[in-house]
């Protein structure tokens, strides 16, 4: 993808603070971090979002976080937990699939807020989703 900034990072055309890479993924520090150690895991191939992504990448990333990245940030940054998240479509700024790996610290007050005025009753949601 010509204009994709994450493809450019993969190709080395844009610099990044790379923490880890292998044949499938690259992990680097987010340029606008939410907490100390906020990283992104991106596949080396361009996939737009979760719906295009081969499951192998997810499994690989989960294993990577469990075995390498969380132990690393726990030891070096003394974090108290970790948020593992990713956006698709609305809320996704960069259209090259990426997982946010965000070390959490007691009292970091990090949270996603939603407009609860948009909520419809749970019974209505359930009836739409369950065909009942
Ligand atoms: P999202 O809103 O889930 O698409 O998140 C995109 C993330 O990419 C944001 O957290 C940005 O700070 C981050 N980002 C954008 N450009 C760069 C870059 N050149 N290097 C590192 N992180 C970036
Ligand atoms: Zn890309």
The SS3 of residue 13 is coil
Residue 1, pLDDT above cutoff 90: no
To test the ligand 1 pocket, which listed residue (31, 49, 96, 101) has its Cβ within 8 A of the most ligand atoms? Answer: 31
**pLDDT digits over 57-109, tens only?**
999 999 999 999 999 999 999 999 999 999 999 999 999 999 999 999 999 98
Q: Give percent of the chain with pLDDT exceeding 70.
A: 99
What is the band of 113 on the pLDDT scale with cuts at 50, 70, 90?
confident
CATH 1.10.3720.10 fits 5-129, yes or no: no
Residue 115 has phi, psi (to 5 degrees) of -80, 100
Mean pLDDT for all residues in the chain: 96
Q: How far is the CA of 92 from the centre of ligand 1 (A)?
A: 9
- Give the predicted TM-score (pTM) of the model: 0.94
> Of the bound ligands, which one is closest to the alpha carbon of residue 52?
2
At 132 the pLDDT is 66
Confirm whether 60 is a catalytic residue: no
Report pLDDT digits (tens) over 18-65.
999 999 999 999 999 999 999 999 999 999 999 999 999 999 999 999
Nearest Cα neighbor of 65 from 47, 46, 86 is 86
């Amino acid at each position: 993808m010509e204009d994709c900034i994450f493809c450019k990072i993969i190709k080395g055309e844009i610099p990044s603070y790379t923490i880890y890479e292998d044949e499938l993924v690259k992990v680097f520090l987010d340029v606008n971090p939410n907490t100390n150690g906020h990283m992104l895991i991106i596949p080396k191939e361009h996939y737009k979002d979760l719906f295009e992504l081969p499951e192998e990448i997810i499994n690989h990333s989960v294993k990577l976080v469990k075995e390498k990245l969380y132990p690393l940030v726990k030891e070096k940054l003394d974090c108290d937990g970790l948020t593992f998240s990713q956006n698709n479509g609305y809320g996704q700024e960069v259209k090259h699939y990426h997982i946010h790996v965000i070390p959490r610290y007691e009292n970091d007050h990090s949270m996603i807020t939603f407009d609860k005025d948009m909520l419809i009753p749970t019974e209505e949601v359930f009836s739409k989703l369950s065909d009942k």
